[in-house]
Structure 1
Amino acid sequence: MNEVIELAYALDTFYFLVSGALVMWMAAGFAMLEAGLVRAKNTAEILTKNIALFSIACIMYMLVGYNIMYGDSVNSFIPGLSFLIGGDHAAEAVLASEGEIYYSSMADFFFQVVFVATAMSIVSGAVAERMKLWAFLLFAVVMTGFIYPVQGFWKWGGGFLEAAGFNDFAGSGIVHMTGAAAALAGVLLLGARKGKYGPKGEIRAIPGANMPLATLGTFVLWLGWFGFNGGSELMISNVAEANAVAKIFVNTNMAAAGGLVVALLTARAMFGKADLTMALNGALAGLVAITAEPLTPAPLAATLIGGLGGLIVVFAIVGLDKLKIDDPVGAISVHGVVGLWGLLAVPLTNAEASFGAQLLGIVCIFLWVFGASLIVWSLIKATMGIRVSEEEEINGVDVGECGLEAYPEFTTTRNPGN
C-alpha cells in the first residue's frame, strides 16, 4: 500500500511540474506574440518587459503572494499576510494521509507562480509602445505580490467566492479577466499611441512588424495552454483522472480551433479579407473561453464555446477601437471580454454552476482588480510618470528605454555618430 501511495505521489507531482513548465513556456508565447504585433522600433523594450515581469512575478509570489493566496486568512474576504514559502511534505506525512496529500507543495507553488506571470503578461501587450519600462515593472511588483493573490484567495484559496459556488476551473476570470482589468485601468490613464486616432475620430491601423513571430507566439501559447488547463485537474494517477485530463486536452484544442475559424470567417465577412491578426486572436479567445470549464463540455460543445469566443473577440476589438481604447495586441478583448464570456458559459455544461454565482465572481474580481490597479497606476503616474516623452515614442521606446534596437539593420532612429 505504501508503495502505491508513493508512486501516485511521484506521478502526480511529476505531472504537476511538467504542466507548470508548459505554462512557463507561455511566457515565451506572449513575448513572441507581442513582439510581432508592435512596431520594430518597440520590440526590444517589450521583450525586456516580458522576461523581467516573469522574474518579478516569481520573486514576489515567493516572498508574499503565495501565502496571501493560500495561507491562513482573517476571514473569507480578507486573506492573511505572511512571508516566504515553507518546506515540503515529509514522507511520513504523505503515507499517513493515505492519498489525501498527493503532490508536492513545491510543485504546487511552481504551478501557481507561472499563472501569476501569465496574468501580468496580459498587461504588457495592452500598454505597449508608450509606457515607461520602470513604471510598468513597479506595477508588476504590486500586481503579482498583492492584487492578484487577493482575488485568487477568494476562489482558489477557499474564500467567499468558493463558498458561493463560483466556478472557474483554470482561470478565465482569476487569471485572464484579472490581467485584462489591470490592463484596462492602465490604458485609460495612459491614453492612445500618437497617431492612432485622427482629429475627426478616424481609426488608423498601426500594423505589427513581424507576423511570423506573432503566429509562432500563438502556437506556443496554444501548446502551453494544455498545461494551463490540463494541469489544473491536479491529478492523473488513476483511470478517472487520466480520462479527465485527456478530455481537457481535447476540449482545449477544439475550443482554440473553433475560435480561430469563426474569427477568420467573421473578419472575412466584416473586412472582406482574411485578417491574420483576428485569426490569431480568435484562437486565443477560444482558449480563454474554455478555460473556465474545460472538463464538462463535450468536444463539440467546447468547439462552439470557443467559436463564440472567436466571434466576440472580433467585435470587441473593433468596439474598443471605436471607444478610443488603444490596445495594440487586443489583450483586453481576448482576455477580458472573452474571459467574461467563458465564465458565463460554465452553467451551460456544468449543472452544478449557476449564473448568479458566476456573475458574483465576475463583478467582485473586476471591481477589485480594476479599482486597485487604477489606484496603483495613478500613484505611479503622479510620482514617476507612466508615459514616455513624445520624442521617445516617435523614435521608439527601444532606444529611449533600453538603449538598443531589436532590428538595428532595418531601423534608423539614431545618428551614426551618437
Structure 2
Amino acid sequence: MRSNNVKRAMRDGGRWAVAALLGCGWFGLVPSFALAAGEASVQTLETGLNALWVMLSAILVLFMQAGFILLESGSTRMKNAGHVAGKTVFTVGLCSLVYWAAGYGLIFGSEGNAFVGWGDFFFNPQAAAGMPPFVFFTFQFAFAAVSLSIAWGGFAERAKLSVYVLFTVLFTAIIYPVVAHWIWGGGWLAEHGKQDFAGSTVVHLTGAMAALAATLLLKPRIGKYNKDGAPNKIKGHNQVYTTLGVLILWIGWFGFNAGSTLAVGDGFFGYVAMNTQLGAGAGALATLAISWIMNGKADIPTILNGTLAGLVAITASCAFVDPWAAIVIGLIAGMLVFYSAKLFEKLRIDDPIYALSVHGMAGIWGTLSNGIFATTELAEKVGVGRGGLIDTGSLKQLWVQVYGIAAAGAFAFFVSYILLFVIKGLIGLRVHEEQEIIGLDLSEHGEYGYPEQMKQAHESLVGQHS
C-alpha cells in the first residue's frame, strides 16, 4: 500500500512538474506575443496614417483644378470663360480613364526598362504591405492631371474642342508617362540621381513644353499682334477670379509638395511645407518689386504669376535645400517670370496663361537650383542624388540636373509637336476665324458663360457681318 502511495505520489508529482514547466513557458511567451501584437498594431497605425495623409494630399492636388479653372477663365476673355472652365472638367475626367488604363503602367509598371515602364495596365493590384496601392494610384493620377492642365495654356481661346479630347489621350498615354518614368518610375534619370522631389520637371516643364508646341502650331490669337509685329495686350476679364485661382493653387501645393513625402513619420512634411511657403512668398515679393520699379505700377497679374513661379521653382527642391535657399530660389523665379514673359511676347509667341514663363522657365530654374543649393544631409535623407555645388564644391549634381532637363524637355516638346502636327493635318487645330471672334462658348458649346452680358455684343457682331 505504502509502495502504491509512493508511486502514485511520484506520478502525480511528475504531472504537476510538467504542468508547472508548461505554465512557466506559457507565461514566458505572453510578453513575446504581446510585443509582437504591439509591433503589428504600431505598424498598422503608421500605415494607416501615411495612407490618410497621402489621400488627403491627393484631394488637395486634385482640388488644384478649381484653381486652374478660375485662373484660366479669369485670365481670358468673357466670351471664352465657360469653355475654358468646362474643358478642364471633362479633360480631367478623360485623363483619369486613360491613366487607369495605360498611364500608370507606363510609369510604374514592374516589367519596364530604363526608358518606359510596362505592366499594371487597367490598374488592379493585389493587396500589399505598406502604402495601399489604390491610394498611391490616386495621388499619382492627380499629378498627371495637373501637368495636362498646364499644357492647355498654349491652346487657350483658339483650339477646337475635339483637339482637347484627342490630345488628352495622347498626353496621358504617351508624353507624361515617359518623362515621369525616367525620373520617378525607376528610369534612367532616376538611376543617375536626378532630383525632382515633386515635379518641377516631371509635371511643370512637361506641361509647358506641350503648351509651347501647341502655341507655335496654333499661331497667335486674332488681334494679339499688329501688322508691324507690335503686341497688343489682351486682358483677362476677371482679376478676382485669377487671384482666387492662384490662392487655391497655393493651398493645393501643400498636397503637391508636402504630400510627396508619402509619410507622416518624423514630420519631415512640415519642413517641405515651410520651404514651399517661403518660395511662394519670395516669388510674389520679387514680381511686386520688379513691376513697381519697371512699370511704375504694381501689376496684379504679374504678382500672381510671380507667386506661381516661386511655387513651381521650389517644387523640385523643397526637400533638398535649406530655408534661406528656398527664398533665393523663389526670388530668382519671380524675376525670371517677369523678363521671360516679355521675351516670349517679343518672339510673337502668344501664351495667354503664361504657361511658358510660370511653368517652363520657373520649372527649369527650380530643377537646376538643386544642383546649386541641395545639401548632402537632405539628399541622403530623401535618398536621391547628392549635395549641390555650394555644399560639396562639385558640379556633379548640377550636371545631372542640366542633362535631365534637356532630355525631358526635348522629349515633351518634340513628341507633342509631332502629335499635334498630325492632328492638324487630319482635323485641324484651330477654330475658324468667325468662331474665334464670337467666342468658343457659343461656337463650341452653343451658349455663353455670361449670357446676359454677351448677348448684346453677339447681336452687334452678327449685325456687322450681315
* Bin of the TM-score, shorter chain as denominator length: over 0.9
Q: Which residues in structure 2 correspond to 1:10-409 (within 5 Å)?
A: 10-80=48-118, 83-90=121-128, 94=129, 101=130, 103-236=131-264, 238-239=265-266, 242=267, 244-350=268-374, 351=376, 352-353=386-387, 354-409=397-452
Is residue 154–residue 160 contact of structure 1 (8 Å, CA) maintained in 2?
yes
Q: How many residues align?
A: 404
Q: SS at 1:374's partner residue?
A: helix
In the alignment, the residues of structure 1 paired with residue 187 and residue 327 of structure 2 have an alpha-carbon distance, to the nearest angstrom, of 32
Q: Is the 8 A contact 1:49 1:124 kept in 2?
A: no
User: Which moves more between the two structures, 303-312 or 406-415?
Assistant: 406-415
Q: Which has the higher helix share?
A: 2
Larger deviation: 397-406 or 343-352?
343-352
SS of the counterpart of 2:237? coil
Amino acid at match of 2:421: S
44-53 or 177-186: which moved more?
Answer: 44-53
Deviation of 1:307 after TM superposition, in Å, equals 1.1
Cα drift, residue 216 of structure 1: 0.2
Distance (whole Å) between structure 2 residues aligned to residue 202 and residue 260 of structure 1 = 28
Aligned equivalents of 1:225, 1:78: Cα separation in 2: 27
Q: Which residue is equivalent to 2:34?
A: none
How big is each residue's C-alpha offset from its partner over 1:64-112, in whole Å with a ceiling of 9 and x where there is no partner?
100110003442124325521123525xxx2xxxxxx2x1111100000
Of 416, 431, 454, 1:411 maps to 454
Which residue identity does 2:99 align to in structure 1?
Answer: Y
If asked which structure has higher relative contact order (CA below 8 Å, sep 6+), I would say: 1
Q: Distance in 1 between matches of 2:230 and 2:102?
A: 46
Cα distance, 1:304 vs structure 2: 1.6
Larger Rg: 2
Q: Distance in 1 between matches of 2:132 and 2:331?
A: 37
Partner of 1:98: none
Amino acid at match of 1:324: R
- 1:97 maps to what in 2? none
- Normalising by structure 1, what TM-score? 0.94
Structure 1 stretch displaced more, 249-258 or 342-351? 342-351
User: What's the counterpart of residue 5 of structure 1?
Assistant: 43
Q: Distance in 2 between matches of 1:347 and 1:356?
A: 7
Local SS of the residue matching 1:411: helix
Percent of aligned pairs with the same amino acid: 39
Asked if 2 retains the 8 angstrom alpha-carbon contact of 1:41 and 1:398, the reply is: yes
3-state secondary structure, aligned to 2:50: helix
Aligned counterparts of 2:205 and 2:270: Cα–Cα separation in 1: 26
Tell me how far 1:118 sits from its aligned partner. 0.2
Aligned AA (2:356)? I
In structure 2, C-alpha distance between the alignment counterparts of 1:8 and 1:74, rounded to whole Å: 30
Unaligned stretches of 5+ in structure 1?
95-100
TM-score with structure 2 length normalisation? 0.84
What SS does the aligned partner of 1:336 have?
helix
Question: 1:145, CA displacement in angstroms?
Answer: 1.8
Q: CA deviation at 1:369?
A: 0.8
Contact 1:46 1:124 survives alignment (8 Å) = no
